Amino acid sequence: MKMTSAVTSKAILVPTSELDLDHVCVSGQTFRWQRDEDGWWMTPVGCAGTVMRVHRQDEKLIIESRGPLAESAARSYFNFAVSMKEMRGHWERSGEGDLVRAIDNTPGLRIARQDPLECLFSFLCSSAAPIHRIRRSVDGMSRELGENLGSWHGVELFAFPDLESLSSAAKSDLDRLGLGFRGRYIIASARYILAQGGRAWLDRLRGCSYSEAKAELMKLPGVGEKVADCVCLFSLDKHEAVPIDVHIARVARRQFDQCESFESVTPRAYAAMSGCFRERYGEYAGWAQQYFFYEEIDRRGIWDQELKKHRPKMSGH
């Protein structure tokens, strides 16, 4: 399947405080954004063959797409139903100075509302792996198993693999992509979902409660609490989901007295830390987690390194 030649374009007003593309595209929640030769951010969206290309022009967000991506879908992807201005104001009035500082240090960082299938299998690649390796694994899996969408603005593009392709993948091919033990989880999880009725089973989790959606996800091979919470937060509208890794564990030990004694992220520690976030930051605790996560990683200069990898190619210069 090649991309259709039809290109749609739309400009919408989005304050810079509500969306910073650099922050969103390298923030460890999504792994397929690339900068094209003109400096625009571009990503295939799920398995359907759609590609979204975005660029900021002052207070406008310019959205181009090839394939069936309407303006409403782009608004959905960037979660514009959530107002960062209102959220920041609420936390400022509540006296959450540390969180407000983290927001002000990374204005425009948002939680993306991703395709659930792509989000799930991307995070299945993430166990014990740094962000650059996850990107490489997800890209390799798309090239190996996804549809070739051709090239647009100097970027070669591939759709994310569908369930049928993932379920029938050879473990040796996934090993070659460096997925190791994760490969068997990817194949087994795809087969499990197909047995439950396909992606409709996954999509319906958006309508479930957070606890029900997380419990269903944890039935999948290789999906533990952290991966389940990532999928809940980044694709299933569960804004209260709080993924806990070593970075957020450090934040929790600093922020909450009852977490100081946890030396590692055991199941008991995970429950306590995520519970503290929800108790303190409420229904959008997952967004608070993302700001603290970004700030914690930024102490090590990781985001600058990631952005350097996405510098546009200078075609013809």
Residue 210, strand partner residues: none
Domain extent listing, the chain:
239-303
**Could you report the per-residue pLDDT of 235-283, keeping only the tens digit for each?**
999 999 999 999 999 999 999 999 999 999 999 999 999 999 999 999 9
Provide the pLDDT for residue 201: 96
The CA angle 71-75-77, to the nearest 5 degrees, is 115
With respect to CATH, is domain 239-303 assigned 3.30.70? no
Q: What DSSP character marks residue 312?
A: P
Does the active-site annotation cover 226?
yes
Longest dimension (CA), the chain: 58
Q: Which of 36-40, 45-49, 63-67 has the highest mean pLDDT?
A: 36-40
Task: For residue 317, name the pLDDT band (cuts at 50, 70, 90).
Answer: very low
Provide the H-helix boundaries in the chain. Answer: 21-25, 71-77, 84-93, 97-105, 116-124, 131-145, 163-167, 171-176, 182-195, 199-203, 210-217, 225-235, 246-255, 267-281, 285-298, 302-309
Write out pLDDT tens, residues 90-104: 999 999 999 999 999
| Non-local CB neighbours of 48 within 8 Å, separated by 6+ positions | 67, 68, 159
Partners of 155 in beta bridges: 152
> Per mean pLDDT, which of 1-5, 71-75, 179-183, 192-196 is the most reliable?
192-196
* CA within 13 Å, CB half, 61: 22
Average pLDDT rounded to a whole number, residues 126-145: 84
Highest mean pLDDT among 21-35, 189-203, 298-312: 189-203
Please give the pLDDT value at position 239: 97
Q: How far is Cα 142 from Cα 139, in angstroms, rounded to an integer?
A: 5
Taking 90 as the threshold, does the pLDDT of residue 316 lie above it? no
Which of 60, 219, 226, 309 does the annotation list as catalytic? Answer: 226
pLDDT reading at 165 higher than 80? yes
Q: Could you please report the per-residue DSSP string of 276-290?
A: HHHHHHGGGHHHHHH
Q: pLDDT averaged over the chain? A: 89
pLDDT at 180: 84
Could you give the CA distance from residue 172 to residue 174 in angstroms, rounded to a whole number? 5
Bigger pLDDT: 12 vs 73: 12
